[in-house]
Chains A and B, each alone.
Chain A
């Protein structure tokens, strides 16, 4: 914080920004602690003995440190957790690609192309967001069973290539509408095809929203456990989330330490993904700013 203050001082402005920056930093750091507490607590939980976990223990410092839980957890399910990480990585990557591609195509159609029935399709698209998934579960299961996709990853991946998650379409529609029309109208005058305008103008200009969609898409697929729960039965095909759930048995005993340990590990890949894509999100602005 003193760094920031020292840097701000030599400028033409008075000491006021330094104070402001200090205040901002203190606010942000205070909020940060509230945000970080659960992760720290989980970390502590993964390191303390099982009988020390409950009984109103809010301290972040374990009375006794043991890394048994990590060993227990990693090899706990007969197949090592490494396998589940690879599985989740593959599924989330493929799902992210599909989501971003398919949703951006649909969003381009909704924002830049005119065709009969557009408003109706748009309303229907939004409508698909509203139905709770519990009631479509069984018809959907029957459908995938008939296709022979049960106990494969296909039900978790293929739908994303058909943009079934309307969230992403709607998200991109809102951002595409913020991109000035003059740009593609000019390109259209030059005889560019819609495909060229989509690939050469829209996509490069919407890097922030594409990065946002990629972040959500990856993280949500990674975290999804209901889909894998219903469709995956072979332990070898388990995702990380499904494997984590295997530690929990509320009717009997749950290996909480191992659960916490593996939960901590499971956060690492998505955290890295977040860090990676947020760079794109930030760089995106430079591009948009300059092209205008």
Chain B
């Protein structure tokens, strides 16, 4: 999204009385509308964020005062922490798998539900149910019932004569059960896609129908382009969320990130360091490295928008 700096204000074509008043008149409406967010940003968000940035340069064990430690936390991370590499690997794999799968699934279902079919509100509601369960601890028990050695999945495989492993507790598969969990909770992006589909004016399709465009062509020429801002939104948000994913691994692995670090999500590791082992300084450094990584990905996404995202303005 390119945002050119303000050259013309809201109302144009009048003589400015003075530069200051002119600037005020141009910028004031924007800042007034933005003021709730600005207050929140400066009073509630910025302070704690800067605080954690400072802590990342200290040894801070939560219970006694932080001691300045220069860049030692960052050095340790880069040179002497095997878990850091493990957490990175797990997290990147999770992002790379769960984001595209979840988005594709959500979009496909949203398209299906956007047609004029009977019983759609019921389906929509049912499909959103798993997302309502969110971070419920019941998920942990449920996932074990499904993916343990004697779980439902293996019961099904047994019918075909296959004796499956314990998916959830085998380091080779455990991460994939969490990917499935993430895809299974596809409700939020689905709803956002639906809202996006709803916002496409019906008359555009009518016009296309009159022109004799096929359904497929309508999808490629109308639906897809007009939906790109929403696709883009879901992509950015899901990527950020996947990088920051914490709860699924915390609940399903009991906070351990195991077996053998196979579900050691980055933020789970960060949490262990902070609250399990009293290394808040190090955890803060981990957090800011994550911010840098996510910011990099987000910036790339925004740079790519001019090639594929279609805005009306």
Contacts and interface: CB of A to CB of B under 8 A. Distances in A.
B70 interface: no
A281 B127 CA distance: 16
B191 A121 contact: no
Interface in A69-92: none
Interface string B265-291: 001001100110000100110011011
A82 B123 CA distance: 30
Interface in A272-292: 274-275, 278-279, 281-282, 284-285, 288-289, 292
Given A130-B298, A134-B287, A278-B125, A163 B132 contact: no
B48 A139 contact: yes
Interface stretch (B28-36, B74-82, B171-179): B28-36
B96 interface: no
Contact of B49 (A128, A179, A212, A220): A128
Interface in A214-254: 215-216, 219-220, 223, 225, 244-245, 248, 250
Which range holds the interface residue count of chain B? 35 or more
Nearest to B105: A31
Interface in B100-133: 109, 112, 115, 117-119, 121, 123-133
Given A21-B117, A212-B191, A115 B6 contact: yes
Contacts, number: 299
A36 B33 contact: no
Contact of A181 (B52, B230, B232, B312): B312
Interface string B125-150: 11111111111111101100110101
Interface residues of A, number: 107
B199 interface: yes
Interface of B: 1-3, 5-11, 23, 26-31, 33-34, 36-41, 43-45, 47-49, 51-52, 55, 62, 109, 112, 115, 117-119, 121, 123-139, 141-142, 145-146, 148, 150-152, 155, 184, 188, 191-192, 194-196, 198-199, 201-203, 226, 229-230, 232-233, 236-237, 240, 244, 246, 254, 267, 270-271, 274-275, 280, 283-284, 287-288, 290-291, 294-295, 298, 311-313
